[in-house]
């Protein structure tokens, strides 16, 4: 016990560092914007225009499935990814799929991400895996959250800063990249449009998420057609 009095306790982070992974952009877009070859993308955002699962989103995820080893977590708020996730042929790559009624509320998303940070094994047990390998043994490579436009209540908009902090904490903890999505302005032409101007600057936005959230991303893509998209940030 006398020896212990002279010991100092250091956090394990002092001796090991998280290996950061980066989102890979499909080659066709890189060819249009050569600067993307040298950009390190930890958080990208995709603006969609359809409730269906577009070829663009499929291409974005399969590009990273081909390149990364480890686990990709797919948080399916809109319940459109399940069939595609099941159809994936995994070559040493795994998808953890989560679609739950709890995700209908913004607090449900924040609670899950908080659990993922504090108790990753317990959080991932709530997911469905696309292969028989024990995904809990694989490093978390990336997180996809589709679609943030469903969280459009004034309360959720005020709490987006909490989501930003959690995504940064996840990257700091696991080194994983994040891809989030939202809908374009046409989605808000109905009742939702009545309060949308509270959250974006008129004439400069392309989605109705808080401006601070969009500014905090490394890259923003907007889908043009079923097969094409362009860089907006």
The mean per-residue pLDDT over the stretch 14-18 comes to 58
**Token pair of 177 as six digits:** 């990249």
Residue 153 β-bridge partners: none
When comparing pLDDT for 126 and 190, which is higher? Answer: 126
At residue 65, the pLDDT reads 82
Cβ neighbours for 38, distance < 8 A, ≥ 6 positions apart:
none
Cβ-contact 96, 138 below 8 angstroms: no
Domain coordinates of the chain in residue numbers?
A: 23-225
The SS3 assignment for 175 reads: coil
Quickly count: other Cβ atoms within 10 Å of residue 6's Cβ. Answer: 6
Is CATH 3.40.190.10 the right assignment for the domain spanning 23-225?
Answer: no
d(CA 207, CA 221): 11
Q: What confidence tens digit (pLDDT) does each residue in 116-134 have?
A: 999 998 998 898 877 655 5
Q: What confidence tens digit (pLDDT) does each residue in 131-154 have?
A: 655 556 778 999 999 999 988 777
The mean per-residue pLDDT over the stretch 82-101 comes to 77
Cβ neighbours for 74, distance < 8 A, ≥ 6 positions apart:
61, 81, 85, 95, 96, 97, 98, 144, 146
- Among residues 47, 60, 35, 44, which one has the least CA distance to residue 217? 44
At residue 200, the pLDDT reads 44
């Amino acid at each position: 016990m006398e020896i212990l009095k002279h010991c100092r306790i250091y956090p394990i982070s002092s001796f090991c560092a998280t290996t950061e992974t980066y989102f890979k952009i499909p080659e066709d877009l890189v060819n249009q914007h050569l600067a993307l070859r040298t950009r390190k993308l930890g958080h990208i955002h995709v603006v969609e225009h359809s409730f269906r699962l577009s070829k663009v989103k499929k291409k974005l995820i399969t590009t990273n499935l081909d390149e990364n080893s480890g686990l990709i977590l797919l948080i399916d708020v809109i319940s459109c990814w399940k069939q595609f996730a099941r159809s994936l042929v995994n070559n040493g790559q795994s998808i953890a799929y989560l679609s739950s009624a709890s995700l209908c509320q913004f607090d449900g998303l924040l609670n899950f991400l908080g659990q993922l940070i504090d108790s990753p094994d317990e959080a991932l047990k709530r997911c469905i895996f696309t292969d028989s390998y024990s995904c809990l043994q694989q490093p978390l490579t990336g997180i996809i959250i589709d679609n943030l436009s469903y969280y459009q209540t004034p309360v959720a908009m005020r709490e987006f800063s909490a989501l930003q902090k959690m995504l940064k904490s996840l990257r700091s903890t696991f080194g994983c990249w994040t891809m989030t999505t939202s809908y374009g302005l046409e989605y808000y032409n109905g009742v939702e449009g009545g309060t949308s101007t509270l959250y974006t600057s008129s004439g400069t936005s392309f989605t109705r998420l808080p401006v601070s959230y969009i500014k905090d991303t490394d890259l923003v893509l907007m889908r043009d057609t079923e097969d094409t998209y362009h860089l907006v940030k």
